[in-house]
Amino acid sequence: MSAPAGTRGALLARESGTGRTSALLPQLTLGLVCGGYAVGAATGWGSAQVALFMGDFGLSAAALAAAVSCFFFARAADIRFRPAWLLFALSSLMASCGNAVWGWYECVRGVQVPSPSLADLFFLCFAPPAIVGLLVLAKRPVTRAGWVCLALDAWLIGGSLLTLSWSLALAHTAHVADAEGGSVARAALSLAYPLLDIVLVSMVLALHFRRSSVNRAAVNTAIAALALTVLCDALFTSPLLRQTYHSGQLLDAGWFAGSLLLAYAPWGAARDADNAVADADRDAPRTTSRPIAGSLAALTPYLAAAVCTLGILYNVIEGRRVDRVVVFTGCTVVLALVVRQGIMLVDNIALTQELAQKENHFRSLVQGSSDVIMIAAPSGVLRYVSPAAAGVYGRDADELVGAELSSIIHPDDLGRVVHEVRRFLAAPPGEEPATRIECRFRSGSGDWLNVESTVNRHQGGLILNSRDVTERVRLQAQLQHNAEHDPLTDLPNRALFTSRVRQALGGRRAGDAGTAVLFIDLDGFKAANDRLGHQAGDELLVQAARRLQESVRSGDTAARLGGDEFAALIVGDVGREQDARECQVHEIADRLRLTLSEPYRIGAGEVRVTASIGVAFAEPGISPNDLMRNADLAMYRAKAGGKNRVELYAPQMQADVVRRSELATRLRGALRDGEFALLHQPVVHLATGTVAAVAAQARWRSAQGILFTPAEFLRIAEDSDRTAELGRWLLEEAVEQAADRARSGHPVPVAVRLPARRLLDRGFPAGSVEALLTRYGLPSGALMIEVADSDPRVSFEDLEQRLAALRRLGVRIALDGFGSGYAAINALRRLPIDVLKLDRGLVEGVVESARLHKITSGLLRIACDLGMQSVADGVDVPEQVLALRAMGCTHGQGAAFSGPLDEYRLRRALARGTFPVPGGVPGGVPAQPVLAGGSIPSLTGSHGETPVPPT
């Protein structure tokens, strides 16, 4: 027995013991009271007066107690047979009144009780309510034949008792009464007592085996009390005792005990029943059938006929003349027995036919069922197998009969099945009537079938109702696989990968530093997918998944998380040192990067993509989500660091993410709250120092007073909707302020820097620039758009069409950051460019580095040969001005002239007109007009801006 079961058994035993103790006290009290009364009656109570008092009023008090007990039980308890207990209360009340009247004559008046008297009337009224109460307690027959059999059984018992009683005493009593010349009432009274007792005994015996199971203990006790009372009445009516009887004798103890037992029946017996429930829960299951009681019920009519026969034989043996009453009663008993046997015979024939029909019906159901029904003996041997086994298992039923049930169960499932069967057989049948077991059965072909069986008990063995669920199990396994795997590559998906990570971090591997998660992103996949089509993109993903699966070890897990993102779980080797395991993970990650970066054969051509991989190692106490987040952060750091590389997670990455998230949250409200300001940096002619244009630059002055440059906040807003919103604000604000300056007498062109991909954004239609220029009345040539960066994902065909449309509106185009980026020469070859803006990286070293000097000189020569203006960005010192001017550069912007200016300082600078130029000639060659392509504005060349004056 398990610990919980043992605890529960001990608790039940303790509760049961407490219940028995509480129920034993009333029983002991009842026994002591009845015993004390019996002892007093046997000793004559010490005096005649006490004997008379106890024999009359004592019995009256006991009967009154029974009446009150039954009455309050019927009124207080929510019971089904309330009328029966009310009738028992009435019957006891009659007995109490009869004894009280008897005591009135003997004890109060001191005279002999007359016969007949009022006491006789009360005593005669005792039996009818008790008889009706017994009828209420009995199970009511459901058929007419049942009612007839009940009446016949009652007459068989009553007639046999009447025959026996008449032969023994009643005939003599009637003869004596007639010979003494007594009144008819006295003779009738002499026979009424025994006849009513016979009727009551007949009902007790006839209904004993038909009583309801509701509150059985209380009913049994009440029947025993009535039986004891009837027995004492029978002894009282016998001529030998009646002639010598007086109140207070030992016979009164029987009536006294019967009354108190009836008083105890509804309350004490109910408590006994509650204790029996606890005992039944604790004990082993027992059968509910009562074969002995059923046999006695069936033999009752025959025993009654035997008693009747004994009565007749007694008269014959004694040589008496057979009385007519005995003959008539005996004949009616025999006739009732014959009628009853006939009814039972007809009923048995009908039951036999019904049983045969049901048997045929169930045999047809079993043999025609698609489920296999098997009966196993307690030893496990199959005793019956339905014919459906041939269709389900592919084996004949006769072949399986006699075989061990364990021989057809899969060995891997046998232990689990045996454990479940033992548990089921040990459980109480009322709590668990059946159980369900799923296992694998061997088929006739040798295959294993998934079978689901409903198991029931059968005579110590089992009944198994089995069906083939192989297809269902297969479908469930397929659905489970689909739910946990990517449909395209058949690799584990994010859910299964997360579960594998959780398993790797649990148990003995918890905190194992050798366990790592790799997040992999294919660089350039989106461009390849857009260029070649989604079908080719899917084929590329399938090949990449195959390479990834083949590159990891057998114990590791490769997964596709979605899109072109993959992941790998590398389980650490417990037997190796931590440094060696980390080095091994590095090698695996780098091998994956090289493998995934090899060319892919798609159709007739090859496609090249690279892989950026982020690696995060497990730490003690880390959760699966945190470990995967760390690998994801490392992967994005690898992409930001130039792609096609492996990056290890560092705690600073998470801090950067938190900072960027906080800054992005504040940036979202900056435009709405008007925290952005527009500054302008002059673009100066290097020969004369005149202002040829201004480059518009956005600054964010946050609510905390911090001034952020584009280098700080544009990285936060990159690839977000806020970037587009900021670009629209920058362009509109720059055009509005340029138009306002032109109306104020400062018609200087303005340059606005926009990313190439923003120009192709759907949120930036070509008509928006034309509408903006028309709204503010900015003349043609007064707006310059600097195309910033050369994103490889940008289509040159689309960009060329957009720039050509802008040029038709009179907008000048500048190529920003010329000299950096692999696509600069290609952009120069294909795009309609008016101005080249040298990258700040070239300008910074043009004086110190001869190599940069030659490169810069060559680029400026290209611009001159193509007829383009040139602007040097980041001109901070006079030496750079002299060197660039000597190379042929026409314009520059930087700290050598001025930093970004607010509107007030800008207008003052424009009113002044020129800036000092090192080695410049006053009144030198003036700048050409913008419309002629002479002077060119620029926006913000690099992200390393010059110092910002206060605004």
Query: pLDDT tens digits for 597-622?
Result: 999 998 888 899 999 999 998 888 88
Cβ atoms of residues 194 and 325 within 8 Å:
no
- Give the best-scoring range by mean pLDDT among 180-184, 366-370, 503-507: 503-507
Residue 286 has pLDDT above 80, yes or no: no
The tens digit of pLDDT for each residue in 731-740 reads 999 999 999 9
Number of other CB atoms surrounding residue 224 within 10 Å: 16
Over 330-358, what HEC string results? Answer: HHHHHHHHHHHHHHHHHHHHHHHHHHHHH
What does the pLDDT read at residue 547? Answer: 93
User: Six-digit token pair at 382?
Assistant: 């199959």
The amino acid that residue 766 corresponds to is: A
What does the pLDDT read at residue 555? Answer: 84
836 in the Ramachandran plot: left (φ > 0), alpha (ψ -120 to 50) or beta? beta
**Distant-in-sequence contacts of 639-645, Cβ < 8 A, 24+ apart:** 639/521, 639/523, 639/612, 643/523, 643/610, 643/612, 644/523, 644/593, 644/597, 644/610, 644/611, 644/612, 645/593, 645/612, 645/613
Residue 943 has pLDDT above 50, yes or no: no
Cβ atoms of residues 347 and 141 within 8 Å:
no
CA 217, CA 215: separation in Å to the nearest integer?
A: 6
Q: Would the pTM of this model clear 0.85, i.e. be above it?
A: no
Where is average pLDDT lowest: 204-213, 653-662, 673-682? 204-213
What rounded mean pLDDT belongs to the chain?
A: 77
Cβ atoms of residues 268 and 123 within 8 Å:
no
Confidence of residue 244 (pLDDT cuts 50, 70, 90): low
Cβ atoms of residues 948 and 699 within 8 Å:
yes
User: Six-digit token pair at 709?
Assistant: 């440059």
The tens digit of pLDDT for each residue in 92-109 reads 898 889 888 888 888 888
Higher pLDDT, 208 or 59: 59
The amino acid that residue 931 corresponds to is: L
Q: Measuring CA to CA, which residue among 865, 861, 816, 823 is closest to residue 841?
A: 816
What does the pLDDT read at residue 922? Answer: 47
CA 627, CA 654: separation in Å to the nearest integer?
A: 12
What does the pLDDT read at residue 308? Answer: 66
What does the pLDDT read at residue 206? Answer: 53
Q: Which residues of 572-588 are buried (b: 16+ CB within 10 A; e: fewer)?
A: beeeeeeeebbebbeeb
Where is average pLDDT lowest: 209-213, 711-715, 771-775, 872-876? 209-213
CA 752, CA 234: separation in Å to the nearest integer?
A: 128
What does the pLDDT read at residue 42? Answer: 81
Most distant pair of Cα atoms in the chain: their distance: 176
Going from the C-alpha of 128 to that of each of 75, 92, 131, 242, the distances in angstroms are 21, 11, 5, 23
Confidence of residue 498 (pLDDT cuts 50, 70, 90): very high
Q: In what order do the strands lie in the sheet with 610-617?
A: 557-562, 565-570, 516-523, 610-617, 646-648
CA 215, CA 136: separation in Å to the nearest integer?
A: 13
What does the pLDDT read at residue 680? Answer: 92
Where is average pLDDT lowest: 135-144, 161-170, 361-370, 681-690? 161-170
In the chain, the percentage of residues whose pLDDT exceeds 70 is 72
The tens digit of pLDDT for each residue in 185-243 reads 444 545 455 555 655 555 555 555 555 555 677 777 887 887 788 777 767 766 556 66
CA 631, CA 613: separation in Å to the nearest integer?
A: 8
Say which DSSP state 408 is in: G
The amino acid that residue 286 corresponds to is: R
Residue 276 has pLDDT above 50, yes or no: no
User: Six-digit token pair at 841?
Assistant: 């990286």
Half-sphere exposure of 14 (CA within 13 A, CB side): 6
Going from the C-alpha of 689 to that of each of 49, 205, 705, the distances in angstroms are 151, 135, 34
CA 88, CA 90: separation in Å to the nearest integer?
A: 5
Say which DSSP state 773 is in: H
Q: What are phi and psi of 695, to 5 degrees?
A: -100, 120
Residue 302 DSSP SS3: helix
CA 930, CA 937: separation in Å to the nearest integer?
A: 9
Q: What is the average pLDDT across 779-803?
A: 81
Residue 720 has pLDDT above 60, yes or no: no
What does the pLDDT read at residue 704? Answer: 62
What does the pLDDT read at residue 49? Answer: 81
Residue 527 has pLDDT above 80, yes or no: yes
Cβ atoms of residues 787 and 815 within 8 Å:
yes
Residue 329 has pLDDT above 50, yes or no: yes
User: Six-digit token pair at 806?
Assistant: 């802008």
CA 760, CA 803: separation in Å to the nearest integer?
A: 10
Place of tokens 């008897």: 102
Residue 571 has pLDDT above 70, yes or no: yes
Where is average pLDDT lowest: 36-50, 307-321, 357-371, 655-669? 307-321
Cβ atoms of residues 739 and 783 within 8 Å:
no
